[in-house]
Structure 1
Amino acid sequence: MYRLSAKQAFPISRKTAWDFLSNPANLSKITPSEMGFEILSGDDRPMFPGQIIQYKVRPFPGFTTRWVTEITHVKDEAYFVDEQRFGPYSLWHHKHFINKVEGGIEMEDIIDYKLPLGFLGRLAQPLVVKKQLVSIFRYREEQLTSRFGSLPGIEKQFKIEYI
């Protein structure tokens, strides 16, 4: 299993952050276009536990797949959790936290994931998957900073580790 963790801070309120981050329709705004990301269903109402969201995604050129996630936990303006029910990973458990800090909020993502295909999946992690996730989250960081600005004095963090 692997863990991706990322933190960045913005000079905005928890409500502003929550309104943007908890709206599934906004995910396409912070996902690189080369991912071919498209929400197929489930983004038609505010986030709630049990919500099923279906996407189409192109993890690499020439391969498009469906990805189905369930929102399993929600605490307004604080956190939500999405878990893959069907898709490219053996396990995908993504926690999104919005923490209040001086001058704004800190957004924290913690993703625990496992790749399919045993040895081949472990081989693909450093060659393909890790690079792609880094690229996606760097893009997300750029898009959110462009939209909300950055909060000086709070260091951005990003890492992927084997757990």
Structure 2
Amino acid sequence: MSKRPISDWNERYRHISFWWATVFGAGLLKPAPGTWGSLVAVIAGYYLINTGISFTLLSSLIVAITVLSAFAIDHIEKVSGIHDAPEIVIDEVAGQWIALLPFYFFTPMLYDYMVAFLLFRLFDIWKPWPIGLIDRKVTGGCGVMVDDLVAGLFAAVVILAGHVLLF
């Protein structure tokens, strides 16, 4: 399996797994498709939280997205031979939404969403231990998903700690 752009996969547009994994094309935006995927996720998360979605339902959506995405990414890898193409950004959605979960424990302001976005991107790009280790060692669709889930968890912990310490 090689890590290269998904544009090398000639039949990509015919597969629902492609559209799902690229968040219906958001991952095709340049530059920095992961940042675009995170931006879509934080905007959708802002909408969901502010229209009253429960903690349990958002958590369930994260789990469902994670499971469906692991299968979709496995399918992409099987038919294309491409591993973790930069255009695959569904992992950013799940991770970014984890970073938003602390907002159920205090009333977030708009800047809190910006902080969650920036912290998640920082941990996703920097990949401190154990995120980097997970990224290198876990393969397949689970591997693509899990490092972003942990990055989201790191961001959530920092947001909660910051809120407790500062307020």
TM-score (norm: length of structure 2): 0.34
Relative to its length, the structure with more strand (as a share) is: 1
Relative to its length, the structure with more helix (as a share) is: 2
**Structure with greater contact order relative to length (CA < 8 Å, sep ≥ 6):** 1
